Structure 1
């Protein structure tokens, strides 16, 4: 399992789908936002939490098609399907590798980019926490989408169409946590969206590896 994780991390970086591409896209989104809405600090403060969450979500999309495509092309996925490791565990490792190379770096750099959008001081901690809780769900859902489209020619667009609607609940509750915290609301006012965000992540972690494994088996037949 550890060897598979190390291999996936190395492949993600070598294939150009590592943290560099996602971080560059994230920086571009945040940098261009003031040009689109104007440099007014009050306006930027209001939309900062939502923009940061949306930028992180879109950045995660960039490398989803590489989660399983490289293994499918070189035949490694068929070997993994017949290996003694459960295919559900393989799907979980793929999602973990994607999160370590994409979700985690985005979570760590988001507070720094929040300065560019004049994010209010109370929002930094909860923005980071909401991303840390929510981005694993993005990686797991993305792995499920990659499993559904593996082997399809030009499946990247179809993958985005499948995954984006599934990302919406995570985006809504994650951005809501950061927004309410940045407005200085007490914990009791954003504990509900925080709990729902955690529930979504736990639900995806519990269910989607099995769905991903089933999709992989069907596509390998």
Structure 2
């Protein structure tokens, strides 16, 4: 992911950050991720498939897939070619199919078909990086893990809520700056705000919930 574009804001103060998340919480107390899944395994698969793809595109492909392959055992029975038939509308589908089959085999052989609940174990699976692991830890186990994607990276730097030149720096900034009572849902509030309001090219500043708190200089009118 690229570094901070010119003009990005400096770190926002603690009291303002607290107010940002108070407003997010007031507007949506229980924000939800948009990737469809039925259990921990299908969540891992969905997040792995979502790399360089939209959630909507992944959901369209996996609705039929998860009806017949919602466990690693069933996915292995479906096989790589069968999986490809379901996900060929998703970018990089061949490589993703290989990884899903490989991680399914590892889950069956090493974890009794269950998805592990540690970041290190999750990251050891093919096609599962730190972001994917954090999404699973947050969405399935309710842990305050912060999965930084392009939307969060952009919003964190524009607003000064979590400034950093790298994904890892922004992740640490969220952990350091966001009050504990908002940590669990911080990831979802930030990604949804970045996706639908603090957009890359034309941020919707006039209707932004935190416009008066945000120090971003290039606000739209």
Q: Say whether the fold is shared (TM-score over 0.5).
A: no
User: What is the TM-score with the length of structure 2 in the denominator?
Assistant: 0.27
Select the structure that is richer in helix. 1
